[in-house]
Amino acid sequence: MLLVRVLLLSFLSIAGVAGAESAPVRLSMPTTIYATPGVEANLYFDNVVLVLNANNYAFDVDCGVGIQQAERWTYTPKVEEVGHYALKLRVFNQSNAVIAEGSSTVVVTDPATLKDRAVSALVIGDSLTHASIYTQALVDFCATDDTPNLTLVGSHAPKEDKRNRHEGYGGWTAARFATHYTEAPRDAPYKERPSPFVYKNEAGEVGLDYGRYCAEVNGGVAPDVVTLFLGCNDTFSAKDDNIEGVIDAMFGHLDALIAQIHGVNPDTKIGLLAPVPPTVSQDAFGANYRNNQTRWQYRRNQHRVVERMAESYGGRDGEHISLIPAYINLDCVRNYPTSTGPANSRNDVEVTRQNNSVHPAGTGYLQIGDSVYGWLIGTLAAE
């Protein structure tokens, strides 16, 4: 009887891999990993498993390209490697039992296939977009000869390069983009202005009007591509007992935005980014939020959004909706900001601690840009 029970428990731990709370590891792998020649693509193991310490597990990648390192699988394609490659990740416990496994397809696309093609893109997001770093990366990627001619669309150009336009605002949520209206001018400070997509009509009714936005911002033409990078602020304060309802509400607003975008042009390519993982250290959460948030709770919330987005928006490429897996590509150990100071008031030893919990350093933003660019080239070339 004991042997039967042990075998049953082992079976349940493997069968419940993809998100069951009873599983020892909740593994969330993207369906597609987009890559382009000369640009590094990564799969950071800690970013795809919900565990307190990924070092307690062993990871094994089976893929015909790239290399496996201690913390990641990494791959910088060459032009001659354009194509599709199967990737399988298995997670082992200390008894060498497989406790989770998942698969992706690595899609390598040469941007030269889109040379000189005119492409317009609208980038929507919160403070991670407001920083204007990954959007600048998109501009820079497409400033070379063998790439599409990219034009970023948006009413907001906060940096020196006016080509770097978007609709990214610190602290904003999906709800704010879908519903927020004030009488403030549309060029008022972003904390005061209405959503760029919400208007009051002649009857005094307030609501989403993406067509009017396109008329005012883009000459009446719908952008070819729209990306939505939201969820960090929507779910920040959620707990395990209410996270599902919080995500339901957020998805309701995302669905409203998607319906508006496709109502104007059903062929617009929509890319959804789940929130990226936070820094690996509680130090940064203490620096930013004192005792009001933990890294573990935020990470649990973020991982659940990744799972739910895969369930709700995955497999919808035929509807011109797809997922951009930036969450797997971010080095949360080295690419978040740090500061150095005494270990404590009684010790002069200098220690370096991470000091920003959810906003990467410039290097981290560039990794997000690598993911968005890979998706942009891959999804356009797949037409």
Q: Two tokens at 254? A: 């995302």
Residue pointed to by tokens 């919900």: 50
Three-state secondary structure call for residue 259? helix
- Can you tell me the distance from the alpha carbon of 365 to that of 30, in angstroms, rounded to the nearest whole number? 20
Say yes or no to pLDDT of 117 above 80: yes
User: 36 with 18: CB under 8 angstroms?
Assistant: no
Give the pLDDT confidence score for residue 137 in this predicted structure.
97
Q: How far is CA 362 from CA 47, 156, 169, 330, 369, in A?
A: 19, 20, 17, 11, 10
Give the confidence band of 1 by pLDDT, cuts at 50, 70, 90: very low
| Domains annotated on the chain, with CATH | 1-108 (2.60.40.10), 112-381 (3.40.50.1110)
Give the pLDDT confidence score for residue 23 in this predicted structure.
54
Say yes or no to pLDDT of 159 above 90: no
pLDDT digits (tens, 9 = 90+) for 260-271: 999 999 999 999
pLDDT digits (tens, 9 = 90+) for 279-289: 999 999 999 99
Residue pointed to by tokens 């890979």: 374
CB atoms within 10 A of CB 24: 17
Give the confidence band of 342 by pLDDT, cuts at 50, 70, 90: very high
Give the pLDDT confidence score for residue 9 in this predicted structure.
34
- Can you tell me the distance from the alpha carbon of 274 to that of 235, in angstroms, rounded to the nearest whole number? 11
Q: Two tokens at 183? A: 């009488």
Give the pLDDT confidence score for residue 322 in this predicted structure.
98
207, with CB counted inside 10 A (0-12, 13-18, 19+), is middle
Give the confidence band of 4 by pLDDT, cuts at 50, 70, 90: very low
User: 100 with 23: CB under 8 angstroms?
Assistant: yes
Indicate the range of 18-22, 84-88, 122-126 predicted with least confidence. 18-22
Positive/negative CA dihedral, 51, 56, 62, 65: positive
Overall pTM > 0.85: yes
156, with CB counted inside 10 A (0-12, 13-18, 19+), is buried
55, with CB counted inside 10 A (0-12, 13-18, 19+), is exposed
Give the pLDDT confidence score for residue 356 in this predicted structure.
97
- Can you tell me the distance from the alpha carbon of 214 to that of 202, in angstroms, rounded to the nearest whole number? 18
- Can you tell me the distance from the alpha carbon of 271 to that of 34, in angstroms, rounded to the nearest whole number? 12
Q: Please provide the average confidence, as pLDDT, over all residues in the chain.
A: 93
- Cβ neighbours of residue 5 closer than 8 Å, sequence gap 6 or more: none
As beta bridge partners, residue 228 has 124, 272
Q: Two tokens at 201? A: 């009509």
